[in-house]
Amino acid sequence: MPRTGAQYLEDVEDGRSVYLNGTRLNTVTRHKAFGGAARSIARLYDFQCAPENIERMTFASPDTGDQVSRMWQLPRNHAELVARREALVASAETHFGFMGRSPEHVASTIAGFRMGSGVYEEHGRERAQAVRDYYAFARDRDLYLSYVIIDPQGDRSKTRSEGGNADLTVSVCDEDGDGLTLRGAKMLGTGAVLSDEILVSTLRPMKAGEERWAFTAMLPMNASGLKILSRRSYEESASSEFDYPLSSHYDENDALIYFDEVRVPWERVFVNQDVRTQFAQWHGTPAHSYQNYQAEVRLMVKLRFLVGLARRIAETIGTIAFPQVVETLGRLSSQLQVIEAFVIAMEAKGWRYGEYWLPDRELLYASQVQSQALYPQIVHTIRELAGGGVIMVPSSVEDFADPELATLIGRTQYSPATDSTGRVKLFKLAWDAIGSEFGSRHTQYEMFYSGPTVVTTGMAYRNFDWDRATGLVDRCLAGYDPPKPPGASGSVRNGRGST
Ligand SMILES: Cc1cc2nc3c(=O)[nH]c(=O)nc-3n(C[C@H](O)[C@H](O)[C@H](O)COP(=O)(O)OP(=O)(O)OC[C@H]3O[C@@H](n4cnc5c(N)ncnc54)[C@H](O)[C@@H]3O)c2cc1C
């Protein structure tokens, strides 16, 4: 039987140190800042346990034979990759794609490390074994993992050890026979408040001399000294489900993590102060591309939701038949399908990595660059379609309880497509998706979760098959002659591109 929602909710109440609004909390799943999001994660676990979903959502652990989430699956062929994607889609549909770091994301990272565990061998056989053992441990418990792999901003013009940056980013401050001790901070643990464990690592390359920052380890969220400094909770300030239907359920939270002399045992250390392996584990294994493939699958679901929202808005305010609106909706739907086409193409054009079949990386990084640019454009388009409709709504659900106000709402919230309550409900949902503090954070998330554009475009640049593109140009150039010097005989060949 896969892990249930109730088991997850029980496990997360482990005494972790979460700080919010000046207080250390003594519960997360029952707190008004996180309870709704915790129940959404629990629903995910229950969804995969439901008899009608088990086959689609789980597979048999090769070690125990028990059913575990497909998020841990290491696909051996195209069909298994597609079956896993179908599970990822079904899972994302439970939260409409609004939980960016739902359990499938970092599970994909760890699965990528596992598939490429040979990369760690040169660094140390024990470290490679720690990766394999941890993968099996997390898979067989269906753990919800989060990660922090980016240094806190500090001063980006300086190196890790210069000026105010020194001692800001988490580093190894001690090592003994039992393991490592870590001190410092890392951003930005989305889902960390609600996850079982966290991966702490660094994605960006490091230089020789930066060894003390070059480590990768797994920690339970209740590790002694691990402090979870939560941002403001949008769920807590969501006055009701009706007014904030997304904030109240899917605010997965983001937190700065501070490691205050945190001890990590050796069996949870994947990399110890080794700049080469630290970087190689991301790009010399499928980890980075496999985790970001999951992100594109999730985004596809979210964009489908937003495109559906756009259509409902146009129907509700009676603009649906205007030619310009039809044009806008056609463009929006095609933007979603660009991402869907990328996902399907990544799988079809996949590549063999040992015994595994993985999504194509050239297309993945192209897709990320497009997604990052598309998301704010799509939000902007929905704002254009909605006009003042998202603002012309009653202050809160409480207005409906007052008979006089309820009558006025009935008179003023006219729509050709629905009744007054339906109109208010739709626009409250639309605002929460694109304009509320929650909605606005989502734009920031989609613009940055995979790195700033300087990083994502760099990945697209490095993974693109330039030889094939420039080869075409060179073949064209070679097909005709340069101008002859004055006095030379003969004419310019007109054989452009001929072979
Ligand atoms: C909502 C949200 C959730 C996140 N969740 C997670 C998470 O779960 N785990 C995690 O590890 N991280 C997470 N992150 C962090 C995310 O990975 C980083 O925000 C991202 O990598 C960008 O880094 P940064 O924010 O430090 O921006 P910076 O790298 O500081 O960039 C800020 C700006 O400066 C520009 N810039 C920076 N350096 C250069 C340069 N060399 N040349 C030109 N321009 C430059 C960038 O283009 C950008 O516009 C999250 C971020 C957000 C916003």
pLDDT in tens, 193-221: 999 999 999 999 999 999 999 999 999 99
> Residue 452 Cα, ligand 1 centroid: separation in angstroms?
5
Q: How far apart are CA 7 and CA 41, in angstroms?
A: 11
What the block records as the tokens of 66 is: 């028990």
Same structural domain, 303 and 180: no
In a domain, 477, yes or no: no
In a domain, 479, yes or no: no
Task: Please tell me whether residue 253 adopts helix, strand or coil conformation.
Answer: coil
Same structural domain, 397 and 330: yes
Nearest CA to ligand 1 atom 31: 452
Q: How many CB atoms lie within 10 A of CB 488?
A: 7
CB of 150 closer than 6 angstroms to any ligand 1 atom: yes
Q: How far apart are CA 288 and CA 113, in angstroms?
A: 9
Same structural domain, 242 and 304: no
User: Which ligand 1 atom is nearest residue 441's CA?
Assistant: 1
End residue of a domain, out of 244, 259, 283? 283
User: Which ligand 1 atom is nearest residue 151's CA?
Assistant: 26
Same structural domain, 265 and 292: no
> Residue 259 Cα, ligand 1 centroid: separation in angstroms?
20
Q: Is the pLDDT of residue 498 over 50?
A: no
In a domain, 86, yes or no: yes
In a domain, 485, yes or no: no
CA angle 112, 115, 120 (to 5 degrees): 90
In a domain, 473, yes or no: no
- pLDDT, one tens digit per residue, over 15-45 is 999 999 999 999 999 999 999 999 999 999 9
Same structural domain, 157 and 275: yes
Q: How far apart are CA 44 and CA 91, in angstroms?
A: 7
Number of domains in the chain: 2
Average pLDDT (326-350) is 98
CB of 452 closer than 6 angstroms to any ligand 1 atom: yes
Same structural domain, 294 and 370: yes
* pLDDT given at position 489: 66
CB of 473 closer than 6 angstroms to any ligand 1 atom: no
CB of 449 closer than 6 angstroms to any ligand 1 atom: yes
Nearest CA to ligand 1 atom 27: 452
In a domain, 311, yes or no: yes
Domain that holds residue 310: 287-466
pLDDT band for 159, please (50, 70, 90 cuts): confident
- Assess contact for 263 and 181: CB atoms under 8 A: yes
> Residue 451 Cα, ligand 1 centroid: separation in angstroms?
5
Q: How far apart are CA 56 and CA 82, in angstroms?
A: 11
CATH number for the domain spanning 167: value is: 2.40.110.10
CA-closest candidate to residue 206, choices 168, 138, 239, 159: 159
CB of 101 closer than 6 angstroms to any ligand 1 atom: yes
Average pLDDT (409-424) is 97
Nearest CA to ligand 1 atom 19: 448
In a domain, 87, yes or no: yes
Q: Which residues contact 275 (CB under 8 A, 6 or more apart)?
A: 205, 206, 207, 208, 210, 211, 214
Same structural domain, 113 and 253: yes
User: Which ligand 1 atom is nearest residue 453's CA?
Assistant: 47
Same structural domain, 205 and 187: yes
In testing the pocket of ligand 1, which one of 228, 369, 448, 454 has its CB within 8 Å of the most ligand atoms?
448
> Residue 459 Cα, ligand 1 centroid: separation in angstroms?
15
CB of 147 closer than 6 angstroms to any ligand 1 atom: yes
CB of 254 closer than 6 angstroms to any ligand 1 atom: yes
Tell me the pLDDT of the chain averaged across its residues: 96
Same structural domain, 134 and 277: yes
CB of 190 closer than 6 angstroms to any ligand 1 atom: yes
Euclidean distance between the first and final Cα of the chain, in Å? 62
Q: How far apart are CA 493 and CA 40, in angstroms?
A: 68
> Residue 359 Cα, ligand 1 centroid: separation in angstroms?
25
23-24/17-20 β-pairing: antiparallel
* pLDDT given at position 163: 80
* pLDDT given at position 160: 84
In testing the pocket of ligand 1, which one of 230, 369, 443, 449 has its CB within 8 Å of the most ligand atoms?
449
In testing the pocket of ligand 1, which one of 454, 455, 456 has its CB within 8 Å of the most ligand atoms?
454
User: Which ligand 1 atom is nearest residue 149's CA?
Assistant: 11
pTM value is 0.95
Q: Is 428 left (phi over 0), alpha (psi -120 to 50) or beta?
A: alpha
Nearest CA to ligand 1 atom 21: 451
> Residue 455 Cα, ligand 1 centroid: separation in angstroms?
9
CB of 189 closer than 6 angstroms to any ligand 1 atom: yes
Beta bridge partners of 256: 229
Same structural domain, 202 and 321: no
* pLDDT given at position 497: 43
CA-closest candidate to residue 88, choices 141, 80, 375: 80
* pLDDT given at position 490: 57
Average pLDDT (379-396) is 98
CA-closest candidate to residue 419, choices 408, 410, 427: 410
CATH number for the domain spanning 293: value is: 1.20.140.10
Share of the chain above pLDDT 90, in %: 94
Same structural domain, 203 and 300: no
* pLDDT given at position 359: 98
CB of 100 closer than 6 angstroms to any ligand 1 atom: no
Same structural domain, 199 and 245: yes
| DSSP code, position 72 | G
Q: How far is CA 437 from the centre of its chain?
A: 19
In a domain, 273, yes or no: yes
CB of 159 closer than 6 angstroms to any ligand 1 atom: no
Average pLDDT (156-178) is 90
Q: Is the pLDDT of residue 357 over 80?
A: yes
Q: Which residues contact 4 (CB under 8 A, 6 or more apart)?
A: 45, 46, 49
CB of 173 closer than 6 angstroms to any ligand 1 atom: no
> Residue 446 Cα, ligand 1 centroid: separation in angstroms?
11
Task: Please tell me whether residue 218 adopts helix, strand or coil conformation.
Answer: strand
> Residue 293 Cα, ligand 1 centroid: separation in angstroms?
19
* pLDDT given at position 420: 97
